[in-house]
């Protein structure tokens, strides 16, 4: 599904939904400038490779096989990520508490690297919108 992507250096938005993808380990090598990525309805178990797409602003991982917050924890290192969709994954089936676990990872990484007087405000400003909430 990613063959030929190196020939598209100006590509900013990409929809790879419903392609039966199981891994995206090399995504960072092939999709370096993508800012919006849709991977809905695949078979992904983690965000390996995606977590190195430093230009990524919007990411949809709905209806994959993501079971724990740790499976997407690496996404917290993406400095521009402001929208993350995880609905329809096994981790989301555990109720709204999954959002807190994911946000905790983002808050830890993003705020730890900043000096801020108001920790809560700084943390909230650096978190992506998750599943529209």
Strands (E), the chain: 13-15, 36-38, 58-60, 83-85, 129-130
Whether 43 has a pLDDT exceeding 70, the answer reads yes
pLDDT of residue 100: 80
Please tell me which residue, 17 or 68, carries the higher pLDDT value.
17
Confidence of residue 8 (pLDDT cuts 50, 70, 90): confident
Mean pLDDT of 47-73: 94
Whether 26 has a pLDDT exceeding 90, the answer reads no
Distance in angstroms between the alpha carbons of the first and the last residue of the chain: 31
């Amino acid at each position: 599904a990613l063959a030929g992507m190196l020939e598209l250096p100006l590509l900013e938005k990409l929809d790879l939904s419903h392609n039966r993808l199981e891994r995206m380990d090399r995504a960072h090598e092939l999709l370096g400038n993508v800012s919006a990525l849709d991977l809905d309805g695949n078979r992904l178990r983690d965000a390996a490779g995606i977590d190195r797409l430093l230009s990524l602003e919007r990411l949809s991982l709905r209806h994959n096989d993501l079971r724990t917050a740790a499976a997407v924890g690496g996404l917290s290192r993406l400095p521009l990520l402001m929208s993350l969709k995880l609905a329809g994954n096994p981790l989301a089936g555990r109720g709204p508490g999954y959002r807190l676990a994911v946000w905790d990872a983002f808050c830890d990484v993003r705020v730890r690297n900043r000096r801020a007087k108001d920790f809560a405000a700084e943390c909230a400003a650096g978190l992506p919108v998750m599943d529209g909430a």
